[in-house]
């Protein structure tokens, strides 16, 4: 089992939006970074753990716990000419972009980015590194366990 931090803008699909969706599942669409795409396509597996992270907002941070609920499959938005994620180089025969489905495990009180930065146990966490802009980053099992044991409060 692997662990991931996946960023979403709350104006797109917040943790509350996810909780309101049928089966509390969403396709993680629109990723247009090759490294993040490769994580989904090549490394993510069903039941991998996910920290659902709100980014590009007034209070960025971890807002929930989810799990990967599907294998990777072509992102339909790359073929939709009306989508901001349309890619004219992608074809049905040779898709360029993939996504996985993510299912809510539970909402949690927000763990702000500022709080994550206060813990030496998380200093190597990729999301906290200067210049990191990836929307999907792997988590070390020790980081996952620390966050769930010490920072998640019900």
Which CATH number covers residue 110? 3.10.590.10
Q: How confident is the model at residue 131 (pLDDT cuts 50, 70, 90)?
A: confident
Give the domain range for residue 52.
3-147
Residue in the structure block whose two tokens are 């994580």: 39
Position 38 in a domain: yes
- Dist CA 1 CA 61 (whole Å): 23
- Dist CA 56 CA 72 (whole Å): 25
Position 131 in a domain: yes
The stretch 121-143 carries a mean pLDDT of 94
pLDDT, tens digit (0-9, with 9 covering 90-100), for 44-70: 999 999 999 999 999 999 999 999 999
Q: How confident is the model at residue 85 (pLDDT cuts 50, 70, 90)?
A: very high
The stretch 114-128 carries a mean pLDDT of 96
Position 154 in a domain: no
Position 46 in a domain: yes
Q: Assess contact for 124 and 140: CB atoms under 8 A.
A: yes
Position 103 in a domain: yes
pLDDT, averaged across the chain = 96
- Could you tell me how many residues make up the chain? 154
- 3-state DSSP helix/strand/coil percent for the chain, to nearest 5? 30, 30, 40
For residue 133, what pLDDT is reported?
A: 86
For residue 1, what pLDDT is reported?
A: 93
Enter the DSSP assignment of 23.
Answer: G
The contacts of residue 58 (CB under 8 Å, 6+ apart) are none
Residue 142's CB: how many other CB atoms inside 10 A? Answer: 13
Position 52 in a domain: yes
For residue 138, what pLDDT is reported?
A: 97
Position 120 in a domain: yes
The stretch 26-51 carries a mean pLDDT of 97
Enter the DSSP assignment of 86.
Answer: -
For residue 153, what pLDDT is reported?
A: 80
Q: How confident is the model at residue 80 (pLDDT cuts 50, 70, 90)?
A: very high
Position 79 in a domain: yes
Overall number of domains in the chain? 1
pLDDT, tens digit (0-9, with 9 covering 90-100), for 99-119: 999 999 999 999 999 999 999
């Amino acid at each position: 089992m692997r662990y991931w931090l996946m960023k979403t803008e709350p104006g797109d699909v917040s943790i509350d939006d996810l909780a309101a969706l049928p089966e509390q599942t969403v396709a993680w669409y629109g990723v247009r970074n090759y490294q993040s795409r490769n994580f989904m396509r090549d490394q993510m597996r069903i039941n991998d753990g996910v920290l659902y992270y709100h980014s590009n907002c007034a209070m960025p941070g971890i807002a929930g716990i989810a799990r990967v609920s599907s294998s990777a499959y072509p992102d339909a938005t790359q073929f939709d000419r009306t989508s901001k994620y349309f890619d004219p180089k992608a074809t049905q025969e040779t898709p360029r972009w993939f996504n996985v489905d993510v299912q809510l495990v539970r909402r949690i009180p927000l763990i702000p980015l500022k709080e994550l930065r206060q813990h030496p146990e998380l200093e190597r966490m990729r999301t906290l590194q200067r210049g990191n802009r990836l929307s999907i980053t792997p988590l070390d099992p020790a980081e996952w366990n620390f966050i769930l044991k010490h920072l998640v409060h019900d």
